[in-house]
């Protein structure tokens, strides 16, 4: 007997001896070469005899290389070994339900005894829980809207699920006027998101004096961070200049939340509705062109009376200031509700703006 063939035969026999055989349905088609309705060491013996007799039965060319030789035994060994791994796969996760807030990103980790086959992750509602990346037994998930979703995890024929429950996020927005902030205390107080003023206007040297400091500290505290740019623009050209100024300040930073245009100046409120809507669109499209998620902020009266809110809501996130209204009283297109300008949060000595984030999907 050929030494190579004998070695492969011994290896295949050893592997086959530990496989729990059922029927050929559990294995790839064509492995039951002796047609006895099972796949076992007898198929290897059958191959051995066929090779000894120089058989030319094309069905024995298991690796489809145009020849019937010892390589087909090797192929049979590997395929049955792989399918043994598949049939004996066990997967599990330690967390059956995740409770998160809008804006959070988290990782689902799967325990598996199978390092060969790919694990797939799917979400029942990507608007609520979106799978943004996978790597081996890990999936990174971003939650973007209040609601519920189920993540299904599959490896071979094994399937498990975990639920994702998403609540509104408690958010503050701050600028240099809020002074020194202990962001760790802010996080411990139940705040999960913060939107920082990056700067204002179109002229140089109009970066918020606390922006970079706040950014570093908020990130270090584990808060989800966004930014806003206070606008004075009364023309499309001025809005373009504000985009350039904003990008000088925020480029290179990574945000968990969008970049918002803050529109609240009286000089803007008295512009024609078409003009103000175009100013907002120019800024948002400009920032979006640099790869940032975008939105706009304004008071309820200004947005509704001085612009075309439905048009803007079809393209951007809407953050509305309405301290005297409940969320249910706001227009249905509102994604973030600024419900107070007089909040008190541990870690901030001054009064602070308070918000709830309900949705981060365009």
DSSP 332: T
Q: Are strands 259-262 and 224-230 parallel, antiparallel or unpaired?
A: parallel
Q: For position 343, what pLDDT does the model report?
A: 97
> What is the third-level CATH fold of 91-167?
Immunoglobulin-like (2.60.40)
**Residue 249: which residues within 8 A CB-CB, separation 6 or more?**
198, 199, 207, 211
Residue 126, CA distances (Å) to 95, 98, 122, 146, 186 in order: 19, 15, 9, 12, 29
Q: What span, in angstroms and rounded, lies between the C-alpha atoms of 38 and 41?
A: 10
| CATH 2.60.40.1080 boundaries in the chain | 91-167
- Helix (H, G, I), strand (E, B), or coil: what is residue 283? helix
Q: For position 26, what pLDDT does the model report?
A: 39
Q: Give the H or E element holding residue 338.
A: strand 336-343
**E strands present in 156-290:** 158-167, 169-174, 193-200, 224-230, 259-262
Instruction: Please count the helices (runs of H) and the strands (runs of E) in the chain.
Output: 10, 17
Per the document, the length of the chain is 362
pTM listed for this prediction: 0.80
Mean pLDDT by 10-residue block, N- to C-terminus, for the chain (362 residues)? 41 38 42 69 64 66 73 69 69 96 98 90 98 96 98 94 98 97 98 98 94 98 98 98 97 97 98 98 98 97 96 98 95 97 96 98 93
Task: Specify the CATH number of the domain 169-357.
Answer: 3.20.20.80
| CATH 3.20.20.80 boundaries in the chain | 169-357
Q: For position 221, what pLDDT does the model report?
A: 98
DSSP 126-184: TTTEEEEEEETTEEEEEE-BSEEEEEEEEETTEEEEEEEEEEPEEEEEE-GGG-SB-HH
Output the six-digit token pair for 3: 């030494």
């Amino acid at each position: 007997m050929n030494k190579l063939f004998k070695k492969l035969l011994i290896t295949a026999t050893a592997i086959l001896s530990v496989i729990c055989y059922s029927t050929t349905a559990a294995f790839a088609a064509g492995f039951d070469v002796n047609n006895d309705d099972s796949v076992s060491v007898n198929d290897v013996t059958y191959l051995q005899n066929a090779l000894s007799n120089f058989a030319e039965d094309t069905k024995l060319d298991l690796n489809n290389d145009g020849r019937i030789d010892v390589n087909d035994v090797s192929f049979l060994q590997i395929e049955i070994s792989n399918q043994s791994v598949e049939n004996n796969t066990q997967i599990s996760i330690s967390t059956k339900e995740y409770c998160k807030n809008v804006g959070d990103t988290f990782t689902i980790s799967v325990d598996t005894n199978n390092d060969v086959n790919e694990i797939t992750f799917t979400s029942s509602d990507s608007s609520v829980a979106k799978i943004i990346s996978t790597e081996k037994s890990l999936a990174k998930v971003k939650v973007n809207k209040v609601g519920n979703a189920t993540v299904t995890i599959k490896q071979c024929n094994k399937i498990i699920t975990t639920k994702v429950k998403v609540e509104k996020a408690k958010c503050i927005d701050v600028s240099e006027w809020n002074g020194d902030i202990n962001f760790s205390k802010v996080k411990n107080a139940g705040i999960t998101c913060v939107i920082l003023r990056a700067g204002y206007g179109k002229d140089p040297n109009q970066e918020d004096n606390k922006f970079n400091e706040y950014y570093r500290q908020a990130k270090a505290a584990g808060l989800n961070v966004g930014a806003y740019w206070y606008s004075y623009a009364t023309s499309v050209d001025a809005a373009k200049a504000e985009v350039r100024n904003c990008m000088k300040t925020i480029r290179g930073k990574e945000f968990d939340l969008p970049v918002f245009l803050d529109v609240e100046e009286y000089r803007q409120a008295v512009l024609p509705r078409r003009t103000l809507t175009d100013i907002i669109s120019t800024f948002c499209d400009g920032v979006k062109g640099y790869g940032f998620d975008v939105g706009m902020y304004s008071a309820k009266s200004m947005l509704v009376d001085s612009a075309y809110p439905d048009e803007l809501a079809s393209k951007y996130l809407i953050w509305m200031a309405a301290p005297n209204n409940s969320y249910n009283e706001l227009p249905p297109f509102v994604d973030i509700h600024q419900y107070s300008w007089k909040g008190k949060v541990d870690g901030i000595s001054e009064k602070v703006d308070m918000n709830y984030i309900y949705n981060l999907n365009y």
